Amino acid sequence: RKEVEQDPGPFNVPEGATVAFNCTYSNSASQSFFWYRQDCRKEPKLLMSVYSSGNEDGRFTAQLNRASQYISLLIRDSKLSDSATYLCVVKPRLGSWGKLQFGAGTQVVVTP
User: Which chain residues interact with another protein by CB under 8 A?
Assistant: 31-32, 34, 42-46, 49, 85, 87, 91, 94-95, 97-100, 102, 104-105
Contact 103, 5 (CB under 8 A): yes
Of the pair 52, 65, the CB lying nearest another protein is at 52
Q: Residue 19 Cβ, how far from another protein at the closest point, in Å? A: 19
Of the pair 43, 58, the CB lying nearest another protein is at 43
Q: State how far the Cα of 73 lies from the Cα of 88, in Å rounded to an integer.
A: 9
Q: What angle is formed at CA 10 by the lines to CA 8 and CA 13, rounded to 5 degrees?
A: 140
Q: Residue 101 Cβ, how far from another protein at the closest point, in Å? A: 8
Q: What are phi and psi of 87, to 5 degrees?
A: -100, 125
Q: Residue 112 Cβ, how far from another protein at the closest point, in Å? A: 26
DSSP-derived secondary structure letter, 46: E
